[in-house]
Amino acid sequence: MATESFADSLRRLSSAQKGRAQGAPGYSIYINRPIGRFLAAVAYRMGMAPNAVSVVSAIFTFSGIILLMLLTPSWWVGMLIWFLLAVGYALDSADGQVARLRGGGSLEGEWLDHFIDAIKIVSLPIATAIGLFRFTGLPTAYLLVPLLFAIAGTATFFGMILNDLLKSARRVISSAERGGGGALRSVLLLPVDYGIVCLVYVLWGWPSVFAVLYALFCLAAVAFCLLVAVRWFREMRRIGNEAGGVS
């Protein structure tokens, strides 16, 4: 069990996170991170290890994903799914903050966190497609939308992880470590913010309305994936050239 007070734990986390991840999507910074900070302080006071918090996060997230495939859409099912996904996302932020309170994370903890994220990113849209197929009268062709969402999300996540890996191998500071972008970038990135996408499931009980909004978020995810892929490719070419690599 932690010896410092709950308020002291919160203060320590707030101080450590000032200036971090500037320009990241707005929900993740201004809503999810503070909630995660609160949950991290609670978990720390309970003596939970970061990996245990990651597992609890996965339980909430995948419970919501499973319900998409099992329950007939209704307003309360949509609210429950959103709640499970949102809590899972907040706990996903909390595990790293618990590690910070305990003096630093571990390699296996970082691996576990990314591994769970990889499964979550691809399974949520696939479960959405299954739920729409089982319980709604939407055209079968619409199922291509969540499948395209799965491709865009997976490609973006893999590209981000690969960027960090390659930059780290060449001792190049990543954009996340540098920060920057400001509040405007945070607002512009809201359509590709996982927390905002989770909020769309509140409309799960109204399939036609959900389908329109979900398709717009899918379009944003695809556009973002293509744009950052071009940017990342050029950045890797520049880093390779500076290091004397072959273009």
Judge contact between 20 and 13, C-beta under 8 A: no
The residues spanned by each domain of the chain are 6-242
The crossing angle, in degrees rounded to 10, of helices 33-46 and 50-70 is 120
CB half-sphere exposure, 148, CA atoms < 13 A: 18
CA pair distance 73, 78, nearest whole angstrom: 7
Q: Which residue has the tokens 């509040």?
A: 183
**Residue-level pLDDT, tens digit, the chain, 247 residues:** 556 677 767 776 676 555 455 567 788 888 999 999 899 988 988 889 999 999 999 999 999 999 999 999 999 999 999 999 999 999 999 988 888 888 777 889 899 999 999 999 999 999 999 999 999 999 999 999 999 999 999 999 999 999 988 888 887 876 555 555 567 677 778 889 999 999 999 999 999 999 999 999 999 999 999 999 999 999 999 988 887 654 4
CA pair distance 6, 10, nearest whole angstrom: 6
Give the closest residue to 38 by CA, choosing from 71, 10, 12: 10
Token representation of residue 149: 């969402």
What kind of architecture, by CATH, is found in domain 6-242?
A: Up-down Bundle (1.20)
Please write the tens of the pLDDT for every residue from 84-138: 999 999 999 998 888 888 877 788 989 999 999 999 999 999 999 999 999 999 9
